[in-house]
Structure 1
Amino acid sequence: MFHNSTYHIKKDDKVKILTGKDSGKIGKVLKVIKKKDSALVEKINIVKRHSKSRAKDRPGEIVEIEAPIHLSNIMLMCDKCMKPSRVKMLRLEDGKKKRVCKNCDEIIDK
């Protein structure tokens, strides 16, 4: 378990899936779950959940939802070079940290 204070993936990032049944697909991060070192990616890793009927007028159903995927199995997509890339952290003069693409040295955080 990483439980890192800084993660290379944030909400609304475009990521590429590296392993599993959805490998090679690209999606948008909906949520980062720090306790599990995982993320929910839009329309990726879809699982079916069965819900019981709660009332007589509302029957049970099968619901498809996104399951979390581990952060080690996804990679950030750079907007400039359009490739999955590793990320390095850069501290600016004003003290703020920015994520930088290792392929093209473009700042990812605007």
Structure 2
Amino acid sequence: MITCHLRYEIDPRQISAFERYVTGWIPIVNRLGGTHHGCFLPHEGANDIAYALFSFPSLTAYESYREAIRQDPQARELWQLSERTGCIRRFDRTFLRPAFEPTAAA
């Protein structure tokens, strides 16, 4: 399994647009074989940082998802929303792997 962690720097004046954008990805990820773990918007502290996490069974499955979203009408609408509103200033994508149990010492 591979989990994608997205860290967004957002325009706090466009929080409503960003919330529509980021939550709009939940059904797309789920429909295309992933598991969306949620979106996390600013509450206290920095008002311009948000997060999203979703997983795919493998990096190959994630790459298939990336290919599929290029043709997906809902994904295009979300990208257009982001462009139109400027709700996202920048984002970083990090890939993580789970560690559920201790590994045996080598």
Class of the TM-score when normalised by the shorter of the 2 chains: under 0.3
- TM-score of the two chains, using structure 1 as the length reference: 0.25
Structure with the bigger RCO (C-alpha within 8 Å, sep 6+) is 2
Point out the structure with the larger strand share.
Answer: 1
| Structure number, greater radius of gyration | 1
Q: Could you state the TM-score of these two structures normalised by the residue count of structure 2? A: 0.26
